[in-house]
Structure 1
Amino acid sequence: MKKYFLLLVLSVLAIQVSKAQTNCSDYYPLVDGASLQYTNYDKKGKEDGQINYKVANVQNNGSGTSATMLMEMVDQKGNTYTSDYDIACDGNVVKIDFKSLMNEQMLSQMGDVEVDISGTDVELPNNLSVGQELPDANISLKMKMGGAINMNTNVETINRKVEKQESVTTPAGTFDCYVIYSETKTKMMMANQTFPSRTWLAEGIGMVKQESYNKKGKLMGSMVLTQFSK
């Protein structure tokens, strides 16, 4: 369950760098019923589960848009975990309601645990350019798992920059993308790790592909858009 929860947090950090295809932003189709399916692969290219997103409860007012992201994660054994969180964009900034991640449905899947979550938003401007540097982001989690067992986790996304533009082909189609490099620092209990990654973003779609690497730059795993509809 700890691995699933951390994956959920990393997935939110990854997906939220894409934003609404409204007057708020050029990225991410924030329209009712839009759905995206991502397939996870391990370092050997073997399928390692899926993540499904669906956009619901979209509301537009003036220059802002808010919606609910419904998320379903299926691991390699076929176990399914579900959650949802609130997302809103206003002007040129998207905001994630981190506390909404801790909904009753999510907590019931984690057993007897109390969770406090906080963080900063990931920002992505409408006009990306190669060489551009982007702000950092983080999520902090404090978990009480019964008795005297506490687990604190901090996930930071740092050194974000636009590396290049390139075309990427996935089972969902071929997309012209900006490639964003970043580093994810995780602090959990006594373990500290840093994972470089690259995310491919396409206008009107959002994240098309993501690759994570170890400290030596070798591929550890990837997530690829396999289905998309709106």
Structure 2
Amino acid sequence: MKIRNLMVATTLFVAAGAMAQNQDCAFFFPNQEGEQITRNCYTADGKLTNILVYRVDQAYDYPSGMEVVANYTFTDAFGKTLNSGQMVARCNDGNFSMSMGDVATFPTALNMMNADVYMMGDLMNYPNAFSDPMNPGDDDEFDDGTLRLYQKGNKNNRAEISIFDREFVATETVNTPAGAFYCTKVKYEMNIWTPQETIKGYGYEWYAPNIGIVRSEQYNNKKELQSYSVLERIKK
């Protein structure tokens, strides 16, 4: 069934990258119309569970920065579409913000995508560590956020995913099937609530200019890997 998205503020933003031409702002998603990136989602033991494809539909330059509108599609491992819609990312006055759409790659969220589910999330910033070196101990650099998912008419099919205590870890090279990318690595704490259970853990994200999220990993409180996603291909 079709999944609908509730817009927060003016829209639900999703990660994107490229360097804005008229502002000193790293934009973490391809910024040329027609560009496409694919990320694969896996279980801890490497079993493919889902595929996420972003395709740039429109790109706009403004005096204060840049905005990109992209289409996204979530499928299962066999190519069946679970979720599709539009995403937006923007740089405004030198600051890049994106939605928590990437959190939808967590297993709890993916397991809900067979129904008519609404998603409503906060915006979070992604600072540019390459031009503005960050202090690993300064947690004021990063925003917290919460993504809420629910199915209208079924109060048991809902979840709340909170990301907090985000902090800069390092800048490092990450190898993927799509190539090697020099990334900013960020650690975060997470809390996943559903009517059935509450899951606590932590995770990492690696993000790069012109690409966005290159790799992500989620762990439980026992430091055991639960799932991960990785950039699979880039199509220009």
TM-score normalised per structure 2 = 0.74
Structure 1 match to 2:19: 21
Residues 47 and 76 in structure 1, CA contact (< 8 A), matched pair in contact too: yes
- Do the aligned residues in 2 keep the contact of 1:66 with 1:86 (CA within 8 Å)? no
CA contact (8 A) 2:13 2:87 kept: no
Per-residue deviation, residues 156-200 of structure 1 (Å, max 9, x unmatched): 111111111221111111111221111221212242112311111
1:56-205 aligned within 5 A = 56-89=57-90, 90-91=92-93, 92-96=95-99, 113=116, 115=118, 117-126=119-128, 127-131=132-136, 132-133=138-139, 134-145=142-153, 149=155, 151-205=157-211
Q: C-alpha separation between the residues in 2 aligned to 1:212 and 1:62?
A: 38
Structure 1 residues 45 and 97, CA gap change in structure 2 (3 angstroms): closer
Q: Which moved more, 1:29-38 or 1:172-181?
A: 29-38
Kept after mapping to 2: 8 A contact 1:163/1:181: yes
Q: Structure 1 residue 151: deviation in Å?
A: 4.3
User: Per-residue deviation at 1:27?
Assistant: 3.4
> Are the aligned partners of 1:64 and 1:88 in contact in 2 as well (CA < 8 Å)?
no
Match of residue 107 from structure 2: none
- Residue-by-residue CA offset, 1:125-148 (whole Å, 9 max, x unaligned): 2335251431111123443226xx
Q: 1:208 to 1:223 in 2, by over 3 A?
A: same
| Matched AA of 2:124 | V
Task: Determine if the alignment matches structure 1 residue 37 to structure 2 residue 42.
Answer: no
Structure 1 residues 95 and 73, CA, compared in 2 at 3 Å: closer, same or farther? closer
Percent identity of paired positions between Structure 1 and Structure 2:
23
Q: CA deviation at 1:150?
A: 5.5
Compare 179-188 and 23-32 and name the one that shifted more: 23-32
* Contact kept in structure 1, 2:13 and 2:100, CA below 8 Å: no
1:31–1:94 distance in 2 versus 1, CA, 3 Å: farther
Q: CA deviation at 1:226?
A: 1.2
User: Which of 211-220 and 127-136 deviates more?
Assistant: 127-136
2:71 aligned with 1:55: no
In structure 2, what is the equivalent of residue 221 of structure 1?
227
The structure with more helix, counted as a fraction of residues: 1
Shift in alpha-carbon separation, 1:136–1:201, aligned structure 2, 3 A: same
Taking structure 1 as reference, are residues 190 and 48 closer, same or farther at Cα in structure 2, changes over 3 Å only?
closer
Over 3 Å counting, the alpha-carbon distance change for 1:122 and 1:82 in structure 2 is same
Question: When the two structures are superposed, what TM-score results if normalisation uses the length of structure 1?
Answer: 0.76
Alpha-carbon displacement from aligned partner over 1:99-141 (angstroms, at most 9, x marks no partner):
xx9xxxxxxx865x574x5432110123352514311111234
Between stretches 177-186 and 85-94, larger displacement belongs to 85-94
Select the structure with the greater relative contact order (CA < 8 A; seq sep ≥ 6): 2
In 2, the alpha carbon distance for the partners of 1:145 and 1:60 equals 41
* SS of match in other structure, 1:27: strand
Cα distance in 1 between the residues matched to 2:100 and 2:231 = 24
> Which residue identity does 1:219 align to in structure 2?
L
Long gaps (5+) in structure 2: 5-11, 105-112
Root mean square deviation of aligned Cα: 3.1
Alpha-carbon distance in 1 for matches of 2:13, 2:163: 9
